[in-house]
Amino acid sequence: MDVMCTTQLMIKAQPSAQEDVYEYIFLPQHDKVQVSLQNKVNTYPETLELIAVMRTINVTPCLTSASQVQYLHPVLDVIKIGNKFENINGSTHVSEADMLKGRGFVNDGRGKVLTLSKIKETRNCVVVLGVGAPSGITEVLQRIVRDKGYAVILHKDNINKDRIKLANTHKSRVLLQKLTESSWAMKEATQ
C-alpha cells in the first residue's frame, strides 16, 4: 500500500483522534522510546473563501507547509481542499543517515523563504498575499510584506513578538486574525 492510500485511511479511520503513538528504536543500542505526536488538520473556512475569490481575479493559490510533501496530497484530498492549490510544497523525506549528512529539506522558517523564492522565479510571479498560523511562517510573511504583498497572521491566544512587530510596522498590509473554534467543534471535542 502506498503512502497516499495509507495516509487517507489513517485520516478517515479516526477523525476525532488527536494523538498517534510511535515506537522509535535507536540503533545500534536498540533502546526504545515511545513518541506521541499530536496532529490536528485545521481548515479555516474564511481562508478557503478568500482563495476562491482570489482565483476569480487570476491569482494562483500555492500551499507551503512544513509537513512532508508526500503526506500533503492525501490530507488535502481527505479534507476536500486538494483541488484548490496548483502548487503544493512541503518538506522532503530523507533517511536518518542522509539527515545526519545534512541532506534533505525542511520547509519551515528559512526553508519557506527559499520555497517562496523558487515559486516566484519559476512562475515569474509576484506574491500578493500570505496567510499562516504556524510559527514557521513568520519569516516568509516578513518577506512577502517586504516585497509589498499582504499578510494575514492567524493566531489563537499567544502571539509571537515578531508577528506583533510586523503588524505594527505594516498596519495597512498586515492583519492579525484571532481564531476562535466554532461552538460545534468545541462541543464535539468535549464529548
Residue 34 counted as domain residue: no
CA torsion, ordered 148, 149, 155, 161, to nearest 10 deg: -20
CA neighbours within 13 Å on the CB side: how many for 98? 7
Q: Give the length of the chain.
A: 191
Residue 147 counted as domain residue: yes
**Which residues constitute the domain of residue 68?**
3-12+42-190
For 41-97, how does the pLDDT look when each residue is reduced to its tens digit (9 = 90+)?
566 777 778 888 888 898 888 888 888 777 777 777 766 666 667 788 888 877 777
Residue 22 counted as domain residue: no
CA torsion, ordered 90, 94, 99, 101, to nearest 10 deg: -120
Please give the tally of structural domains in the chain: 1
pTM here? Answer: 0.66
Residue 152 counted as domain residue: yes
Alpha carbons 11 and 179: distance in angstroms, whole number: 23
Residue 70 counted as domain residue: yes
Backbone φ, ψ for residue 153 (5° rounding) = -105, 110
Residue 90 counted as domain residue: yes
Residue 118 counted as domain residue: yes
Query: Could you tell me the mean pLDDT of each successive run of 10 residues in the chain, 191 residues long?
Result: 44 47 51 50 73 86 82 72 74 75 81 90 89 80 92 82 91 86 55 55
| Cβ burial 32-51 (10 Å sphere, 16+ → b, else e) | eeeeeeeeeeeeeeebeebb
Residue 37 counted as domain residue: no
Assign residue 84 the CATH number of its domain: 3.40.50
